[in-house]
Amino acid sequence: MKSLIASLQSALGQRYVLTADADVAPYVVDWRQRYAGAALCVARPGSTDEVAQVVRLCAAAGIAVVPQGGNTGLCGGATPRGGEVVVSLTRLNRVRAVDAANNAITVEAGCALQEVQEAAAAADRLFPLALAAEGTATIGGNLSTNAGGVQVLRYGNARELVLGLEVVLPDGRIWNGLRALRKDNTGYDLKQLFVGAEGTLGLITAAVLKLFPLPRLTATAWAAVRDPAAAVALLTRLRNATGDRVTAFEIVGRPALDLVLRHIPNARDPLHGRPSWQVLIELTDTLAETPLADILERVLAAALEAGEVLDVALAQSETQALALWALRENVAEGQKIEGLAIKHDIAVPVSRIPEFIARADAALEQAFPGVRIVCFGHLGDGNLHYNQSQSAALANDDFIEATPAVNRIVHDLVHELGGSISAEHGLGQLKRAEILRYKSDVEMDLMRAVKKAIDPAGLMNPGKVL
């Protein structure tokens, strides 16, 4: 394959085609260090035209490509298995246009999510996709996995925030679908084929994204709740009282918070008494004169009286609010430091979250006495990160071998409750076989037909999703 590498170096410049083992190493291991592969090389194009050149050269040589952004994925979707060309898109990092009047921004796929947020804020607008890895996760990866995050209940996930896409297809052609329209009823909505496809149909190189008015007021609270059912009741109470001002509603179980307090410097428990369940609440409003903090305090007082809420810490400043958010956002980092765990990214209807937690906890405890369950996530949209490990880190090497049995308990219950075994992290390598148990033959046939029609040679991120 020396001839392909030479052709890529000629197209991009030698410095942008990495071949040395030390240079390639960061691109062939996933963030969780669960998957490690090998690559023929890493190509780092700097424009859409260069991406198209890379894809055409690889197609002509019959070599598969693996697109990669910030490499923060959790399912191995951006990790090569062996012999592919990794196409790193981080050099495609320009903000091409901001149209404040149309509430739209056009950005390239390699822009970090935080950079998109900052560009929107500079135009007095909000790009609402928000997640813990926003400083390194790129918008191309966010779209390829249909990322969710903490504000989905108000603004929707990545799929709902896209107006148009630019995509390099498997044969190297460029589809320019960068339309900034809310209404376009001229046939199939092609952009939605590529959102959530994890690079298996083509490489997203740019996107037009929706913007919103910038909130002028924020109220944040950390509350202990009696149990998950009380958390759902509090969410309903808040939404009835404030409508779509509820921007985020996160649940954190005690084992999840304990990992943060143990491993993250300067982390402090906001409440006394070590409550078993807590929620992080954020309300926002575009009207600066809205008494948002008073409204939140009033609703929480009513919930306290009803016995749903046991204790509350109201943020009195932006610094305090950021400290509360840091507790929630560092759960994944705390878990990573603690060691191996069996992880699940599931969704069920919000109303069935208490039932899921109760039944899944009981079944896992019966099957694996003493199991530690780290449960946290986006209760407001029904998405839980529901993870298992042993309290003694050294016992986890053996426990990980039980992943199929644990998955069967968790995923079968999710399916029974009308849920999804992948809410926001995608399928990648981790769940591509598991999904066969839960999707119908019709669904799988349709997905395979789409893949075959667009990528007949199977060179786009092989071994992922399907």
Domain 95-213, second-level architecture? 2-Layer Sandwich (3.30)
Task: Count Cβ atoms below 10 Å from residue 427 Cβ, excluding itself.
Answer: 22
Which residue intervals of the chain bear CATH 3.30.70.2740?
Answer: 339-427
CA distance 153 to 130: 12
Coil/strand/helix, residue 105: strand
* Confidence class for position 393, pLDDT limits 50, 70, 90: low
206-239 pLDDT, tens per residue?
999 999 999 999 999 999 999 999 999 999 999 9
* Confidence class for position 394, pLDDT limits 50, 70, 90: low
- pLDDT exceeds cutoff 90 at 381: yes
DSSP symbols for 47-92: SHHHHHHHHHHHHHHT--EEEESS---SSSTT---SSEEEEE-TT-
Per-residue confidence (pLDDT) for residue 141, from 0 to 100: 96
For the purposes of burial, counting CB atoms within 10 Å of the CB of 439, is it exposed (0-12), middle (13-18) or buried (19 or more)? Answer: middle
DSSP symbols for 118-169: HHHHHTTEE---B-TTTTT-BHHHHHHTT--BTTHHHH--GGGGEEEEEEE-
Do the strands 65-68 and 84-88 form a parallel or antiparallel pair, or are they unpaired?
A: parallel
Which residue intervals of the chain bear CATH 3.30.70.2190?
Answer: 217-327
**Angle formed at CA 458 by CA 207 and CA 408, multiple of 5 degrees:** 85
Closest by CA position to 110, among listed 100, 125, 96: 96
Per-residue confidence (pLDDT) for residue 371, from 0 to 100: 94
What is the arithmetic mean of pLDDT over 174-184? 97
Per-residue confidence (pLDDT) for residue 396, from 0 to 100: 79
Question: Candidates 3.40.50.300, 3.30.70.120, 3.40.30.10, 3.30.70.2740; correct CATH number of 339-427?
Answer: 3.30.70.2740
54-81 pLDDT, tens per residue?
999 999 999 999 999 999 998 899 999 9
Closest by CA position to 43, among listed 90, 104, 113: 90
CATH number of the structural domain 2-88: 3.30.43.10
Q: What is the separation, in whole angstroms, between the first and last Cα of the chain?
A: 27
As a whole-number percent, the residues of the chain with pLDDT over 70 amount to 100
Tokens for 162? 């896209």
What is the overall mean pLDDT for the chain? 95
Per-residue confidence (pLDDT) for residue 62, from 0 to 100: 97
Indicate if the alpha-carbon torsion angle 441, 447, 452, 458 is positive or negative: negative
Tokens for 308? 């749903």
Per-residue confidence (pLDDT) for residue 382, from 0 to 100: 97
What is the arithmetic mean of pLDDT over 296-314? 96
Tokens for 289? 């004169």
Strand partners, 312: 223
Residue appearing with tokens 């309300």: 283
What is the arithmetic mean of pLDDT over 277-294? 95
Domain 217-327, second-level architecture? 2-Layer Sandwich (3.30)
What is the arithmetic mean of pLDDT over 180-201? 96
Task: State pTM to two decimals.
Answer: 0.93
- pLDDT exceeds cutoff 90 at 340: no
CA distance 147 to 159: 8
* Confidence class for position 132, pLDDT limits 50, 70, 90: confident
Residue appearing with tokens 């109470």: 237
Closest by CA position to 126, among listed 200, 199, 186, 215: 215
**Angle formed at CA 149 by CA 147 and CA 154, multiple of 5 degrees:** 110
Per-residue confidence (pLDDT) for residue 105, from 0 to 100: 98
Residues near 211 by Cβ (< 8 Å), separated by ≥ 6?
Answer: 98, 100, 103, 104, 105, 120, 123, 125, 126, 127
